[in-house]
A and B are shown apart, each in its own frame.
Chain A
């Protein structure tokens, strides 16, 4: 499919996933790839951007003698998610209007 995903939408998708529960990098990548096809190296820049904007925080949890870094949504992240959802609804409706025009 030739339709491209904008980075804003990808941010929204990741925030929506993290809104349900905390994820570590690999599991999050798997989760996103389960629905949309993204390359394995796409999520790192996204998570970095979200963290820099303080939409997510990270914490480490020991796992089999090493650490796993978990990503957790912040209050700011939830606000951002709400605004992305609103923007998307408007955008979606507008595109639908044009696509369904005959």
Chain B
């Protein structure tokens, strides 16, 4: 039992000290009351320390997220990514939710592809703009007007690219935000309640 709790302790390291102690105390008391002495018996009751820690952490991530949403509407993309990650792990830990997990992974993959495409477009714009401007300078001596035309075109494309970067970043934020919200919904639907079926008897 102590080994089980030590492992759980290490897996909950990202929690605040007091939150971690509370969870550990709850489960220490629980295992003692249940008279579960061996490591295997603990796993049989609560799942592996990893599975249990994922459940606990997913619950905390959602709580923390709701709290920060109350404070400010501007959600931190990094914590959103972390949230999506934890929910994905929690879904993995629950065999029933595997199809849901696949949907979530597909969704994240689609977002990722969109982002990659966006970055590619921005890089392509930058390259074209620079090439046009440089060749414009090259031609400038032979034909002033053609040169000026190319420089103009190049600078315009560069301008579009620079203007596009903030828009791209905003789009990326929005995508992450939506995915996080969607995963929260999935979490509520499938993990929070999946373990609570009414008995058939």
Contacts and interface: CB of A to CB of B under 8 A. Distances in A.
Interface string B172-201: 000000000000000011001111111110
Contacts of B119: none
B199 A1 contact: yes
Interface string A68-86: 1100000000000000000
Interface in B146-187: none
A26 B45 CA distance: 12
Contact of B193 (A7, A27, A40): A7
Nearest to A42: B195
A26 B188 CA distance: 24
B195 A38 contact: yes
User: Is the interface on chain B under 10, 10 to 19, 20 to 34, or 35 or more residues?
Assistant: 20 to 34
Interface string A17-45: 00000001111010000011111111011
Contact of A44 (B56, B196, B197): B56
A1 B200 contact: yes
Nearest to A6: B193
A67 B32 CA distance: 11
Contacts of B5: none
B66 to A, nearest CB: 11
A66 B1 CA distance: 16
Nearest to A25: B30
B20 interface: no
A3 B197 CA distance: 6
B29 interface: yes
B26 A42 contact: no
B59 interface: yes
A96 interface: no
B29 A41 contact: no
Interface of B: 22-23, 25-27, 29-30, 32-34, 45-47, 52, 55-56, 59, 63, 188-189, 192-200
Given A25-B26, A42-B196, 10 more contacts: A1-B197, A4-B196, A5-B193, A25-B29, A27-B33, A35-B199, A41-B47, A42-B195, A45-B56, A69-B29
